[in-house]
């Protein structure tokens, strides 16, 4: 059957109760060099659903690319098992696994035109000429390159080359596509446009995408779920909203976007929330359970959740006082840095909803306030 755009979205739809597309169980990867051992991946358990856009996010050296290579068969685990659609592929070479990989360097053949680059894998497998033409045509339409079949890679923009690499990987109809920072070489505007295109293509094709990136905005924009990695481990696994709004650790709070980390001693404790002291006149309510009076609590508040003004906030809002140390105008918003009475710097993103003057200037004494729902305790049961 010819794979067309109309049926691509349901091609890999799982039956009810079907298992994950990709599963890693107890996976470890240790490298040995110059008499030393480096644990690149440690105790990794992951289950990636069929048809999911799943991102591995983290800084350089966190183990995300090694994890992708373990799935693709370019590396073998020191311990643990890798499963594709329920079958163990540990020890199975990369060319025998039903996955394809798109790397940061697109590795297109410069002497071949677009059509021949995309058709390369099909021809090596002996696919009939008529089917090759039909399948390549469908893929070029999918990635919006129809009409450019005879151009060579050197005649294409970076974004177009990236689409050729995608088409070449997808034309073989893999059950999963692995992408290792494929947008990193593009400029910001093109990278943002390609994020939208990648998500569109993934929805239309309907297969599992596993995407490696160090760009938080990229992962938030495209992913169904994100695994935030640090030092070979997953620090948090969840939807973009979950990892942004409710970071599980200090690392996640600091790595995903901009976050304010505050701390203080619990002065009041109830069954559903506590109050902590934070300098003179500071009052912060945190929705959390299992914390007692006298315990020190660390919390995070996102900059866009915080209001700033010279007047004392209304009762019921969390509030702290401070002095403005920096004001940065960014067009759509103005960013304020405020040194609090407790000695912490708090960043506030204030939307520029009017064309008037700034809310405050450097040196001004201000109140910061926010809804208690936006106080999120780190490392405590919610």
pLDDT digits (tens, 9 = 90+) for 131-170: 999 999 998 988 888 889 999 999 988 888 888 988 898 8
pLDDT on residue 363: 95
Q: What distances in angstroms separate CA 217 from CA 16, 75, 180, 205, 350, one per listed residue?
A: 33, 28, 16, 23, 19
Under 8 Å between Cβ of 190 and 223:
no
Helix axes 158-170, 188-205, angle to 10 degrees: 20
The answer regarding whether domain 260-377 maps to CATH 2.40.50.140 reads yes
- Write the pLDDT tens digit of every residue in 280-304: 788 999 999 889 999 999 999 999 9
Coil vs helix vs strand at 225? strand
pLDDT > 50? residue 7: no
Q: Where in the chain is the domain with CATH 3.40.50.300?
A: 5-98+174-251
State residue 382's pLDDT score: 53
* Helix/strand/coil for 102: strand
The tens digit of pLDDT for each residue in 349-363 reads: 999 887 667 789 999
Q: Where are the domain boundaries for CATH 2.40.50.140 in the chain?
A: 260-377
**117 has a pLDDT exceeding 70:** yes
pLDDT surpasses 80 at 3:
no
7 Cβ contact partners less than 8 Å away, ≥ 6 residues apart: none
Q: Say whether domain 5-98+174-251 belongs to CATH 3.40.50.300.
A: yes
Q: How far apart are CA 137 and CA 243, in angstroms?
A: 39
What's the pLDDT band for 193 if we cut at 50, 70, 90? Answer: confident
CA distance 10 to 141: 18
- The string of pLDDT tens digits covering residues 41-81 is 999 999 999 999 999 999 999 999 999 999 999 999 999 99
Partner residues linked to 368 by β-bridges: 308, 320
- The owner of tokens 């947008």 is 183
3-state secondary structure of 343: coil
Q: How many C-beta neighbours within 10 Å does residue 141 have? A: 14
Per residue in 361-373, pLDDT (tens digit) is: 999 999 999 999 9
Is the distance from CB of 43 to CB of 28 less than 8 angstroms?
yes
């Amino acid at each position: 059957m010819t794979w067309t755009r109309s049926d691509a979205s349901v091609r890999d739809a799982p039956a009810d109760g079907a298992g994950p597309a990709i599963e890693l169980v107890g996976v470890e990867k240790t490298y040995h060099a110059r008499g030393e051992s480096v644990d690149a991946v440690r105790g990794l358990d992951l289950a990636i659903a069929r048809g999911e856009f799943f991102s591995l996010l983290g800084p350089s050296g966190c183990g995300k690319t090694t994890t992708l290579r373990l799935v693709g068969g370019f590396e073998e685990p020191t311990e643990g098992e890798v499963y594709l659609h329920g079958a163990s592929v540990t020890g199975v070479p990369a060319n025998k696994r039903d996955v394809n990989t798109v790397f940061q360097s697109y590795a297109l053949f410069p002497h071949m035109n677009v059509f021949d680059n995309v058709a390369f894998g099909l021809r090596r497998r002996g696919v009939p000429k008529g089917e090759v033409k039909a399948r390549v045509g469908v893929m070029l339409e999918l990635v919006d390159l129809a009409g450019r079949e005879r151009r060579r890679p050197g005649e294409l923009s970076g974004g177009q080359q990236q689409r050729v690499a995608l088409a070449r990987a997808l034309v073989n109809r893999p059950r999963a596509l692995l992408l290792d920072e494929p947008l990193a070489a593009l400029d910001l505007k093109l990278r943002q446009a390609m994020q939208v295109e990648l998500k569109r293509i993934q929805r239309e094709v309907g297969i599992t995408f596993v995407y490696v990136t160090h760009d938080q905005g990229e992962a938030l924009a495209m992913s169904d779920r994100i695994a935030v990695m640090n030092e070979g481990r997953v620090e948090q696994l969840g939807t973009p909203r979950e990892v942004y709004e409710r970071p599980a650790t200090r690392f996640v709070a600091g790595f995903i976007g901009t976050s304010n980390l505050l701390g203080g001693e619990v002065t009041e404790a109830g069954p559903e929330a506590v109050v902590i002291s934070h300098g003179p006149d500071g009052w912060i309510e945190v929705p959390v359970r299992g914390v007692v009076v006298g315990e020190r609590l660390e919390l995070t508040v996102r900059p866009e959740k915080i209001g700033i003004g010279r007047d004392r906030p209304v009762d019921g809002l969390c509030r702290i006082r401070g002095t403005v140390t920096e004001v940065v105008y960014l067009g759509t918003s103005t960013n304020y840095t405020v040194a609090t009475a407790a000695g912490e710097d708090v960043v506030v993103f204030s939307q520029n909803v009017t064309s008037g003057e700034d809310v405050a200037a450097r040196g001004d004494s201000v109140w910061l306030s926010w809804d208690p729902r936006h106080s999120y305790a780190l490392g405590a049961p919610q």
